[in-house]
Structure 1
Amino acid sequence: MLVLALDTATTVVTAGLVELPADGPATALAVRAHDGRKHGELLVPAVRALCAEAGRALQEVDAVVVGAGPGPFTGLRVGIASALALGHALDAPVHGVCSHDAIALAAAGIAEPGAADPRTGPDNLLVVTDARRREVYWAAYDPAARRLSGPAVEPPAALAARLPELAVGTVVGDPGFAGPLGVPVGGPAAPTPGGLVGVAAAALRAGRPPAPVEPLYLRRPDAVEPTGRKRVTA
């Protein structure tokens, strides 16, 4: 099965063509990662470049997997809208997955959540990404990349106070939070195509119809509806 994987929830635009066999781990055929500040400009050209690099036609794509966040409004809208448009044009199902789940899976080094855990020790894994407004998006996972809590958003100081409660041994994601959290933050900083497909692998192999893709904004937008008309004359 040929799967197109997209994510625009972080500061990186991630796109990849991934081969998912009937049994066994997914294999990335081509990967693109670009500056996340240019989601709209870079995403579709990246998809074209993936097809050229892998020697596959876009029409060969059997399914699309897209990261649904958590992430800022603009980035998520671009990625999800693009995935839905491509899925419609290709008559391919579009599966939305939590972007933090994909990061956790890649960090754990396993093919799918719940697979055998190659990491040593019982400590949990924490994924952190930039939520802006001096806040952090986070989710906690067991060593086999199964989500235990989150995703949620809060100030780094509040999250730092909860690290003992979450039994965190490894933190991955945005390295800029190493200082505010007081712990090292390793990679990956963004979802990988293999991680995105791995999260959805069970549903893809079973041919289950995807649920509607719901973006994980986790908070209300800055813009508010006006409450009255402004006077324009004295």
Structure 2
Amino acid sequence: MLILALDTATTDLVTGLVDTEISAAYDAVVPGTRGHNEQLMPTIMALLDDHATTLADLDGIVVGHGPGPFTGLRVGMVTAQALGQALRIPVHGVSSLDAIATRHSADNLLVTTDARRREVYWASYQAGRRSAGPGVVRPENLEPPHPVDAVVVPQRLVVKLPSHLQDLETVELSPRAAGLVAVADLAQAPEPLSPEYLRRPDAVPPPEPKRSAALPPLKKEARP
């Protein structure tokens, strides 16, 4: 099977092709970008061209469903869903944190990504399986439910962690195509895509304007 893998849950724009028949993965990653919306489809098309492949050759799509910021997740998941419908191929949603965890060999691992608003998304893993999370918390309040040997964390946030976590091995990682496909159950029919925001979007409805005290009170409508 030839699988297109996508993830827009972090500042890295992650795309890749995975050939499950020969266990080969090819990544095209745009690091540290906020332009997911403008860059995603051009990056996908360039990836396909580089490997003499077209959209019609794809057998399925795997997309990270977060946790992540509202706008970033929406770009990746809407694109994956639209491609899946147009090509009539299955689209599998997977945890972006689970995909990241596949890139580290520690038996007891804590994985975090930048949630902005001075917070991080997190999940902990034992022997390659998620044992807790996902959740969102300020990095200084992060306390995994079991001892960990290593922490995946954006490097600029290491100093925000509790001191006992700062003393461990720390590394910054984002998802890759092989990991995204590895945590997907391609043998099962995909469930409906459901993004993990873990909190409300930044945008909120504006409050109703206050009525000036100088204005006469509103008359109540008489009930019939």
- With the length of structure 2 as denominator, give the TM-score of the two structures: 0.86
Overall identity of the aligned pairs, in %:
50
Q: Which of 94, 99, 105 does residue 96 from structure 2 map onto?
A: 99
Q: Does 1:186 align with 2:183?
A: no
Give, in whole Å, the separation in 2 of the partners of 1:136 and 1:150. 12
Shift of 1:174: 1.7
Is 1:155 matched with 2:128?
A: no
Amino acid at match of 2:56: Q
Match status 1:129 vs 2:130 = no
Counterpart-to-counterpart distance in 1, 2:159 and 2:86: 45
Question: For residue 169 of structure 1, what is the aligned residue in structure 2?
Answer: 149
**Unmatched runs of 5 consecutive residues or more in structure 1:** 109-118
The separation in 1 between residues aligned to 2:11 and 2:27, in whole angstroms, is 20
Consecutive unaligned residues of structure 2, counting only runs of 5 or more, are 216-224
Q: Indicate yes or no: 2:69 matched with 1:85.
A: no
Rounded Cα–Cα distance in structure 2 between residues aligned with 1:96 and 1:175: 27
Please identify which structure carries the higher helix content: 1
1:141 aligned onto 2:138: no
| Structure 2 partner of 1:115 | none
| 1:30 to partner: Cα distance | 4.4
- 1:6 counterpart residue number: 6
Q: Are the equivalent residues in 2 in contact too, given 1:32–1:50 (CA < 8 A)? A: no
Return the match for 2:197 from 217, 220, 223: 217
Larger radius of gyration: 2
In the aligned structure 2, how far is the partner of 1:171 from the partner of 1:197?
22
Letter in 2 for 1:5: A
Are 2:65 and 2:77, in contact at CA under 8 Å, matched by a contact in 1? yes
Structure 1 contact 30–54 (Cα < 8 Å) conserved: no
RMSD of Structure 2 on Structure 1 (CA):
2.0
Q: Aligned residue pairs: how many?
A: 208
Report deviation, 1:219: 0.5
What is the rounded CA distance, in whole Å, between the counterparts of 2:190 and 2:153 in structure 1?
Answer: 27
Contact kept? 2:6, 2:16, Cα under 8 Å:
yes
Give the AA of the match of 1:71. Answer: G
**Which residue does the alignment assign to 1:43?**
40
Residue 67 (str. 1) matches residue 64 (str. 2): yes
